[in-house]
Amino acid sequence: MAFWHKKEVDFEKAYRIIEDEEGVFARELAREMGVSPSTITRSLPSMEEAGYLLAEDDEGKLWPFKRKK
């Protein structure tokens, strides 16, 4: 089982926040989730592996893509 399966609830919550607040910085997302910004940064590759696709713009803001089923 991949590591991300243990975090899927957290990934879903993070993705919902990013969808609601498109263009959110990782530090703002971290504050809303009650974790450190480094936790968010380290989680991004696992989120992608789990199918939660994001884009980061030149300013470092996170934007959602549609989730793979």
Q: Does domain 3-64 have CATH number 1.10.10.10?
A: yes
Fill in the DSSP letter of residue 19: H
pLDDT at 30: 93
Exposed, middle or buried by CB within 10 Å (0-12, 13-18, 19+), for 26? buried
pLDDT at 9: 66
pLDDT tens sequence across 16-64: 999 998 899 999 999 999 998 998 888 889 898 888 999 999 999 999 9
Report CA 55 to chain centroid distance, whole Å. Answer: 10
pLDDT at 49: 87
Residue 65 dihedral angles phi and psi, to the nearest 5°: -110, 170
Domain ranges across the chain? 3-64
From CA 39, how far away is CA 30, in angstroms rounded?
Answer: 8
From CA 49, how far away is CA 33, in angstroms rounded?
Answer: 20
pLDDT at 66: 62
